[in-house]
Structures are given as structure tokens and as C-alpha cells.
């Protein structure tokens, strides 16, 4: 069964460093999403992406974040200058359509900022 994959599974970085989290959505899906889950808290929506541009973004998704689909399969989240509070599990998801359809989540990347 097709699934969303994410790399790396874990990443440790120093505060102020840039990180890039990678995702490969399900191949025939058109909508892509990033979420984060700070330890012990809710899963929070960051951004959605469709047709090579950001579709919607939450207030969390500020200027330090960016997303890109550099080729036909990968979808990346870049955090430009990491802060301690960026430590969280980051989930990528994809869906065939928006709003009406199931979003399938990847296994997540656990980011630790020291």
C-alpha cells in the first residue's frame, strides 16, 4: 500500500542552524501538508501546498519556515534559523483532494534543537 515517507527520522541541530526536513508524498496525491507536534501537545497545522505554491498557512508558519517541491516527488520543509521551541515531531501528509479526503501522514521527523 502506498505510504508517505519522511527523512530523516531524527535530527539534532544547534540553535540558529538551518534544517531541511524531507517528505515523499503518495505519488498520485495533489495536496501536501506539514504539521508539528510538540511533545505532549496537540498536532498543529503548519502549511498546505498545492500546484507548486502555498495554499494555506497557520500563524505558526512564519518567515523562518519555507516549503518547496524541488522535483516531482519530494516535498521539503526548511526552518531557516532554528530555535529551542522548534523542537517537535514534524509530520508530512498528503491527500488526493482538499477538505473532502483523507490525509495520510508520514512517520514523522523528530527534531531536537539544542
The residues that touch other proteins, with contacts defined as CB under 8 A, are 31, 33, 35, 41-50, 55-56, 58, 89, 91, 93, 95, 98-108, 110
Considering the complex, what minimum distance in angstroms separates the CB of residue 62 from other proteins?
A: 16
Considering the complex, what minimum distance in angstroms separates the CB of residue 48 from other proteins?
A: 4
Task: Considering the complex, state which of residue 16 and residue 54 has its C-beta at the smaller distance from other proteins.
Answer: 54
Task: Considering the complex, state which of residue 70 and residue 99 has its C-beta at the smaller distance from other proteins.
Answer: 99
CB atoms within 10 A of CB 82: 21
* Sign of the CA dihedral running 27, 29, 30, 33: negative
Please state, in angstroms and rounded to a whole number, the distance separating the CA atoms of residues 41 and 36. 10
Considering the complex, what minimum distance in angstroms separates the CB of residue 108 from other proteins?
A: 5
CB atoms within 10 A of CB 99: 6
Please state, in angstroms and rounded to a whole number, the distance separating the CA atoms of residues 111 and 36. 10
Within a 13 Å sphere around the CA of 110, how many CA atoms are in the beta-carbon half? 3
Task: Considering the complex, state which of residue 9 and residue 14 has its C-beta at the smaller distance from other proteins.
Answer: 9
Task: Considering the complex, state which of residue 18 and residue 56 has its C-beta at the smaller distance from other proteins.
Answer: 56
Amino acid at each position: 500500500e502506498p505510504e508517505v515517507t519522511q527523512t530523516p527520522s531524527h535530527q539534532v541541530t544547534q540553535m540558529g542552524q538551518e534544517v531541511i526536513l524531507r517528505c515523499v508524498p503518495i505519488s498520485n496525491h495533489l495536496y501536501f501538508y506539514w504539521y508539528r507536534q510538540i511533545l505532549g501537545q496537540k498536532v498543529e497545522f503548519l502549511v498546505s501546498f498545492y500546484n507548486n505554491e502555498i495554499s494555506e498557512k497557520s500563524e505558526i508558519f512564519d518567515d523562518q519556515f519555507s516549503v518547496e517541491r524541488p522535483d516531482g516527488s519530494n516535498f521539503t520543509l526548511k526552518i531557516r534559523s532554528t530555535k529551542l521551541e522548534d523542537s517537535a515531531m514534524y509530520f508530512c501528509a498528503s491527500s488526493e483532494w482538499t477538505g473532502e479526503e483523507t490525509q495520510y501522514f508520514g512517520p514523522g521527523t523528530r527534531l531536537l534543537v539544542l
